[in-house]
Amino acid sequence: MSKITKSSTAEYFAKNLQQVGFSSPLKAVLTTLKEAIDNSLDACEQAGILPDIKVEIAKVGSGSTKNTDLIKIVVEDNGPGIDADDLAKVFGEYLASSKFGRGQCSRGQQGIGISAATTWAQMTNARGAVVISKTKNMRKAVSAQVDVDIKSNTGIIKNKESIDWVKPNGVRVEFVMDGRVQLNGDGGLVTYVEGTVLVNPHLTIEYKLLDNDWQKVERVSNEVPELPPATLPHPHTFKLGEFITHATLFGKTSLSKFLKTGFSRISDPTINDFVKNGLPKSLVEKPVTSISEENFKSIFTAIQNTELMAPSTKSVLTVGEDALSKSIQRLGQVDFFSVVTRKPRICDFKPVVVEVALARFIDRGGESDSPVQLLRFANRVPLQFDKSGCAITGAIESVNWKSYGLNQPKDSLPLGPYVFAISVVSPFIKFKNASKETIDASDELVDEIRKAAQQAGQKLSRHIRKEFKEADLERKLAHIEQFGPILVEKLALLSGANDARRKKAEDGLRKILGRDSQEAISQLEDAETKLNKQKQKEAKKFGFDLDETSSEEDSESYRDMDSDDSAEKGTTKATTAMSTEKDTQKTTEKTTEKTTEKTTEKAVASTQKSTTIATTQKSTQKK
């Protein structure tokens, strides 16, 4: 019989780094950057600091493995800093986290990601993380190299020294590792940075990627998000084994105290309901350490058979419609956008809030027959891999986008030059793997995402209908220019009318054509007036400067595009940055005038020609 051995947590993850996002050199670079920025943002928000983050990624040589480069990744922040005694735990020890199991909407929770980045750098370049840290209580910054002791799952500090640093507080971490860099696309670094900028309006970030110039994106909000208090788990989300393990954490506490302090929505009246549903009364005040497995089964069954209040939704954190509306302007020149923040809901006994932003950018390429760009977020962190298996993707594909004016193949994303950004925030998001790349789908969560997308789609459909009206007007004017002169010419030729009759026919035809085009122009002007009012309202609210004067109140009510929308509540904000309406009106008027003049001139010429022919025919008959 072979000898049974055991391995440490670090040893397990060192052999299975693909489970935490290091399955390829390409993913290794992106995951390292993501984990470092997530830690910086969480630290700044917990300390009430507006984050200023600086990122540099460069190729510094050839990698030690085939088809890889040696990549240097540097992330620097202005956070509260890390004490020198904690550097080894933060960067060199797995499952060492101050946020594990707290039930908060923080980005990182498990304490795995940044330690895995240190392990990858150590395995591919024989050197872990190089860290500079300074807190407000430190006169000088501390610089050290942190490696991971694979056998014991502990951090090792090397080359530790005190140095002068211009920052009053903050952290700078540097990794040098084998990897490959992709800038654009679903797994690109630029896509990640833009996604992080979108859902963090309070962030200022300066970055340099490879040989590109330094880029800086300023914050659009000076409010640091207030982290809501942590929430306790709901007992209906537990399995029997998890329930027993959770009970052992409370030691000799009585069962009633364990239930009231270990779960949300449980009080003395609730415990009485448990007793009515089969919980033995003799176990209520018994210490949990002396309860047998059979008794735990009866306790768990009684809890599952009892109706409980849904957990509180106060623990969720949102970006907010106003902040998201401003933040989206930082990504480029916006032609149209619609933002929706749903009210917090309970999905699978977990508090969840969904936010949606749909946008079309003028300065970005995009074909009308290519799928929309879908940006997915979980707790304000971009998700860039395994898109097809994500609950967000499934929810967007299940919406009938043809009802909103977009083309859509069956069971696929809609087509068009749009960006769809979907954010899900919850203290208990269920991921499919430890790398947190895909949200696990449930019917309730998918339905909530669908409803949010449908609300945003209503504003999108209004925008598309307006564009159709403009295109229809252009078609009408083109038809007038093309067929008007021909019609007048043929009428004059057939009638052989005198000048008075011809003039009367020209006036009548001009009146008909003018009324037709004027009706279309009037409809367009009504749409432009309503659009102006909407833009003015949004401009005042978000602080934008517009030259257009305010117009009348937009009282238009529009029909919901999906039957599910009629019962939904939520606020939707949309704005457009189209060509100036006054220019459109002037262009239309000029086109109409030119059309009328051309029509009249051709009509006169045709009538004169017809009169000459008729006179010639009469003279021939007399002869």
The per-residue pLDDT for range 81-106, each reduced to its tens digit, is 999 999 999 998 887 655 544 556 66
Q: What is the pLDDT of residue 193?
A: 93
Most confident by average pLDDT, 205-214, 477-486, 522-531 = 205-214
Q: What is the pLDDT of residue 102?
A: 55
Beta strands 170-179; 129-134: pairing state:
antiparallel
Question: Which fold, 9-217?
Answer: Heat Shock Protein 90 (3.30.565)
Quote the tokens at residue 107: 């980005």
Task: With a cut of 50, say whether residue 266 has pLDDT above it.
Answer: yes
SS3 560: coil
Q: What is the pLDDT of residue 419?
A: 87
Task: With a cut of 70, say whether residue 263 has pLDDT above it.
Answer: yes
Q: What is the pLDDT of residue 122?
A: 92
Q: For residues 450-460, give the mean pLDDT.
A: 88
Find the angle CA(378)-CA(384)-CA(387) to the nearest 5 degrees. Answer: 90
Question: In angstroms, rounded to a whole number, what is the distance separating the alpha carbons of residues 243 and 598?
Answer: 84
Q: What is the pLDDT of residue 591?
A: 43
More confident residue, 113 or 580: 113
pLDDT digits 0-9 by tens, 15-48: 878 777 788 899 999 999 999 999 999 999 989 9
pTM metric for this prediction:
0.70
Q: What is the pLDDT of residue 318?
A: 79
Best CA proximity match to 293, nearest among 236, 261, 248: 248
| Architecture of the domain whose range is 321-461 | 2-Layer Sandwich (3.30)
Best CA proximity match to 176, nearest among 123, 127, 119: 127
Task: With a cut of 60, say whether residue 598 has pLDDT above it.
Answer: no
Q: Quick one: how far is CA 72 from the chain centroid?
A: 28
Q: For residues 76-80, give the mean pLDDT.
A: 94
Question: In angstroms, rounded to a whole number, what is the distance separating the alpha carbons of residues 208 and 197?
Answer: 15
For 219-228, 498-507, 593-602, which range has the lowest pLDDT when averaged over its residues?
Answer: 593-602
Task: With a cut of 90, say whether residue 463 has pLDDT above it.
Answer: no
Task: With a cut of 80, say whether residue 514 has pLDDT above it.
Answer: no
In the block, tokens 């009510």 appear at 557
Task: With a cut of 50, say whether residue 580 has pLDDT above it.
Answer: no
Q: What is the pLDDT of residue 379?
A: 87
Question: In angstroms, rounded to a whole number, what is the distance separating the alpha carbons of residues 223 and 44?
Answer: 12
The answer to whether 361 and 333 have CB atoms below 8 angstroms apart is: yes
Q: What are phi and psi of 9, to 5 degrees?
A: -60, -40
pLDDT digits 0-9 by tens, 284-297: 999 988 898 899 99
Q: Give the single-character DSSP code of 551.
A: -
Best CA proximity match to 380, nearest among 112, 195, 111, 572: 195
